[in-house]
Amino acid sequence: MKRKILLCVMVFLSSFSLISQNANSNYNNYHARIIKIEETIVNENFQEADSLYQLLFKDYNNPFLSDVIIALQLSGLLGDNQSITTYLELAFKNGAELKHLKNLQGLKNVPKELWNNAEINYVQLRHQYYEKIDTSLLRKFTNRYLNEQKLKNTDMGPNTIKNNIRFIKQVVKEKKNFPGEKMIGIDDYNIKESNFYSSVVVVSLYHYWFGFTDFQKVLENAVDKGYLHPRRFAWIYNGEKISRKQGYGQYKNKNLYKPLFPKYNFNFLFDYYTSNLEKVNADRAKFGICSYEIDKKKLLIEKKYGIKLMFLNY
């Protein structure tokens, strides 16, 4: 009898573990919940937003760092020291550097005592972050990114971009997924202020003439699995969209075969804006991005409260 009860308990725990793993591997629900939180924020229901963030981060072990930073700023507005401490630790575990957090205007009112406590655990939590990402790949992509930025407007630019694209394809083939934030972490090069997201791979795809169509299935899967933020997906799409419309790169050759290209409108920076917001919002929703109207309201909240909500608005 005891063995039967023990077996039932083990089956239950295994089932629960499987459900938890599935939840962590499917980010469609993650982004749907983020949209709900963003709607709550623009309605200035910060306490409710904080509660929703806490539930979300319990369900997903690898949240996008930008979401953690927003939650951290809200806890600062609320003066909730316990939440501030929790989100600081979560931010460090997901790649945030202490010096960059201290520079955020939205965290200027965090008590000095909490910063001092955060410094005590910072090194250990930073180590946990490096343990879960591929630091070797991060260094390689960072060096390639910096070289590309240096040469992109020279005669060596096209070949540099092509070489980086070949390397991305090689990594995707070997790793069976996109080298985004979950795989290589956030940008780790010497910049004045952290962006709190990963761009070293995305920029190459943006510069490449077929950055979207050559990787479309990979990118869509990466969004579903949490390796690529939907806004970065849209940014890569816009890169090829601009190249096609303005005749950049290989699109200068009118006889060149152009792969089929879906018609999306996201109304992001570097996009061709449209007044058809019904189409814009439908395209955004398809990939887990809030409505255009919510983004506009976020800018008002940023100005009113001195916090940063728009880390990925392109």
CATH number at 57 reads 1.25.40
Same domain (yes/no): 147, 226:
yes
Please compute the mean of the pLDDT values over residues 98-107 and round it to a whole number: 90
Same domain (yes/no): 127, 151:
no
Measured distance CA(314)–CA(311) in Å, rounded: 9
Q: What is the mean pLDDT of the chain?
A: 87
Say if 88 falls within a structural domain: yes
Same domain (yes/no): 48, 119:
yes
Residue 259 above 70 pLDDT?
Answer: no
Point out the domain boundary residue: 262, 279, 304: 262
Structural domain harbouring 178: 135-262
Same domain (yes/no): 141, 113:
no
pLDDT in tens, 153-184: 899 998 999 999 999 999 999 999 999 999 99
Same domain (yes/no): 238, 140:
yes
How high is the pLDDT of residue 7?
43
Measured distance CA(22)–CA(36) in Å, rounded: 21
Point out the domain boundary residue: 98, 132, 166: 132
Say if 101 falls within a structural domain: yes
Say if 276 falls within a structural domain: no
Measured distance CA(111)–CA(250) in Å, rounded: 54
How high is the pLDDT of residue 189?
63
Say if 89 falls within a structural domain: yes
Name the pTM for this structure. Answer: 0.88
Percent of the chain's residues with pLDDT above 70: 85
Residue 204 above 80 pLDDT?
Answer: yes
Say if 284 falls within a structural domain: no
Q: Lowest mean pLDDT of 12-16, 76-80, 234-238, name the range.
A: 12-16
Point out the domain boundary residue: 262, 284, 299: 262
Same domain (yes/no): 159, 110:
no
pLDDT in tens, 3-21: 444 444 344 444 434 444 4
Same domain (yes/no): 119, 156:
no
Same domain (yes/no): 162, 216:
yes
Say if 38 falls within a structural domain: yes
Say if 184 falls within a structural domain: yes
Choose between 1 and 27: higher pLDDT. 27
Task: Name the band, by pLDDT with cuts 50, 70 and 90, for residue 253.
Answer: low
Q: Domain total for the chain?
A: 2
Same domain (yes/no): 74, 186:
no
Please compute the mean of the pLDDT values over residues 131-150 and round it to a whole number: 95
Measured distance CA(92)–CA(186) in Å, rounded: 11
How high is the pLDDT of residue 248?
58
Same domain (yes/no): 105, 148:
no
Same domain (yes/no): 88, 46:
yes
Say if 270 falls within a structural domain: no
How high is the pLDDT of residue 30?
98
Same domain (yes/no): 104, 141:
no
